[in-house]
Amino acid sequence: MNEFAKFLKVLGFIIGIFLVGGVVGWLGTRGQQPVTSPMSQAAVGSSAATPAAGAPSAPAKPTFLANNYRPLSSVSLQPQTTGTVAVANLITNWEERLDEVLSGKEDEDQKARQLLDIFPRLPADGQEEIAQHLSNLISDEHYASLGQYLTNATLPEPVLDVLLADALNRPNKLKLPALVEVARDAANPKAGEAKDILELYLEEDYGEDWTTWQQKVDQWLKDNPD
């Protein structure tokens, strides 16, 4: 009986140890639970919304810095253009400038040079108006300074109309070579009209053979000097 009593005593001691260890462990885990703040609760809520593994995830929203921000150095600071004239160089008070030139005491050649200087920087209506004055101011001797614009296919057609009308009032030795240069440029709005005028003078149509056109014009000018 004494041995059996000792056995029961040892068994009870072991069981007691296990019970005490379990209670201590349980108390320890309770003491280690973190105190959650509102921010951490929000984080827990967002993690709970994470899709399950294998499910397609929504694309990340673009951030302002990644998609919308551009450093100043990457932004072009070049002036915008209107037609062929840069806005930064455009002369908007051209009527005042025209009045100043026309009312000045300079001779016609000097006035023409002043108007030619500003002509490339004028808006279309300014170029059309000043082209008419240049037609009156520029002599045949200096026609090349104005005639170069007749072959500029980028000018507005109303401006080219003024320049073509001026060319038709020039001597044949100036007019016909200018018409050949205009007619051979298919991009020039006045090309067809220039070719029609050449046909009236030469009484022939040489199609797109501009070498022959030039040769025939040269021969016509020799036969019909101004």
Enumerate the domain spans of the chain.
Answer: 81-152, 171-226
pLDDT at 195: 97
Q: Which residue has the tokens 């200087």?
A: 117
122 close to 85: Cβ distance less than 8 angstroms: yes
Q: What is the mean pLDDT of the chain?
A: 76
Q: What angle do CA 19, 21, 24 make, to 5 degrees?
A: 110
Please report the pLDDT score of residue 68 as a whole number.
34
| Secondary structure letter of residue 91 according to DSSP | -
Structure tokens at 169: 């009032």
Q: Which pTM does this prediction carry?
A: 0.62
Rounded distance between C-alpha atoms, residue 18 and residue 24, angstroms? 10
Predicted pLDDT of residue 8: 54
Contacts of residue 111, Cβ cutoff 8 Å, sequence gap at least 6: 101, 102, 104, 137
Backbone angles phi, psi at 132, to 5 degrees: -65, -40
Q: Give the pLDDT of residue 52.
A: 46
Closest CA to 133 of 103, 92, 89: 103
Looking at per-residue pLDDT, the higher value among 14 and 96 belongs to 96
List the one residue out of 226, 220, 128, 212 whose CA is nearest residue 170. Answer: 226
pLDDT at 77: 28
Q: Is 49 a residue whose pLDDT tops 70? A: no
pLDDT confidence of residue 198: 98
What the block records as the tokens of 197 is: 């005028």
**What does the pLDDT average to over 91-96?**
95
Cβ atoms 130, 94 nearer than 8 A: yes
Point out the least confidently predicted range of 13-17, 34-38, 122-126.
34-38
Which pair of structure tokens corresponds to residue 21? 């260890």
Closest among 184, 177, 134, 186 to 159, alpha carbons compared = 134
Section 52-74 average pLDDT: 38
pLDDT of residue 4: 52
